[in-house]
Amino acid sequence: MSTASLKVQSQSLNDRLSKRNFDRLASFIYRYSGIKMPSTKQTMLEGRLRRRIRATGLTTFDEYCDYVFDHGGLESELVHLVDAITTNKTDFFREPKHFDYLRDQALPALSRSGVSRFRTWSSACSTGAEPYTMAMVLDTYLANNRDGSYSILATDLSTDVLEKARLGIYPVEVIEPVPAEMRRKYVLQAANQSRREVRMTPYLRSKIGFGRLNLMDNRYSVGEPMHVIFCRNVLIYFDKETQGRVLHRLCECLVPGGYLFIGHSESIAGLDLPVRTVANTVFQRL
Ligand SMILES: C[S@@+](CC[C@H](N)C(=O)[O-])C[C@H]1O[C@@H](n2cnc3c(N)ncnc32)[C@H](O)[C@@H]1O
């Protein structure tokens, strides 16, 4: 590494966000994505932005913020800024009771009410583990129980994660929670075993439509109302008021009798939504 690039790196590492620039970033992030950015998250934000600043060829937070907020850089940086600030942790069969409920309660009840084409939506899908898990559960349910079909819409704010989700390639250890029978049917081993990667089958990938959608939008253009919506582990990043607005809009996208799943650490308490509770963090549209 040259002396010049070493100098650039050490400058970046010692650099801190000024209060003014932290406030500008935090307020933009909150307005655009709903994500709360209290001052306790400053070190995390700095860490994530350092990588982005290096990629732009700029060297300091001041230069970056001047470029973004004062010199028209926001439009081109928006996508990267969002990719840098979003937390994308996810797993296959995360919070597995939800998938038991979907298979054993929600889908049979919807079938009994005459639904044969299930419309479902993973509304903060991250790198795809959630919608692929939904697809495996739906596909298996229909194969075992009855004729019918399903569609899965998978959306997220971050284009980075959407790209990974579309590709459907994962390190082999990531699919450990997937039951062996489903692995055999829906997961392909890499031809070269030393790569230790797997890929969801083309069939399963074809079942999911991926797209970018900001839950902060005033309305969600998702077509016909859904039978099942997953909105898990994203509400925790929003304040209560934003959670209420998002959940009301999601309810507008559900058919009466449709199901809403939120994360186990999330709650709808005090939000006066048109739903009844049917299981822990599972709700049915009235
Ligand atoms: C922690 S992940 C949760 C993924 C998955 N739902 C799960 O439970 O495993 C949160 C996801 O929410 C997305 N996100 C954050 N703010 C968002 C917004 N305003 N609109 C849509 N997605 C958002 C992030 O990009 C991230 O992929």
Residues 133-170: pLDDT tens digits? 999 999 999 999 878 999 999 999 999 999 999 999 99
Whole-Å CA distances, 24 to 13, 18, 64, 66, 277: 21, 10, 12, 10, 39
Q: Residue 12's pLDDT is what?
A: 58
Confidence of residue 13 (pLDDT cuts 50, 70, 90): low
Helix (H, G, I), strand (E, B) or coil at 167: helix
Highest mean pLDDT among 39-48, 79-88, 99-108: 99-108
Residue 126's contacts (CB-CB under 8 Å, 6 or more residues apart) are 88, 89, 90, 156, 158, 161, 165
Q: How far is the CA of 274 from the centre of ligand 1 (A)?
A: 23
Q: Ligand 1 center to residue 192 CA distance, Å?
A: 32
Radius of gyration of the chain from its Cα atoms, rounded to whole angstroms: 21
144 C-alpha to ligand 1 centroid (Å)? 31
Ligand 1 residue neighbourhood (C-beta within 6 Å)? 33-35, 86-90, 94, 124, 126, 130, 156-158, 161, 214-216, 232-234, 237, 263
> Atom of ligand 1 at shortest distance to CA of 89?
1
Q: Over 80: is that where the pLDDT of 11 sits?
A: no
Decide if pLDDT at 1 tops 50: no
Q: Which of 15, 83, 139, 156 is catalytic?
A: 156
Instruction: Give, as one character, the DSSP assignment of residue 223.
Output: S
Q: What letter does residue 258 receive in the DSSP assignment?
A: E
| CB distance 161 to 127 below 8 Å | yes
Residue 5 pLDDT grade (very low, low, confident, very high; cuts 50, 70, 90): very low
Looking from the CA of residue 231, the nearest atom of ligand 1 is 6
> CA torsion 54→56→59→62, rounded to 10°?
-120
Global confidence as pTM: 0.94
Catalytic residue among 48, 166, 245, 249: 48
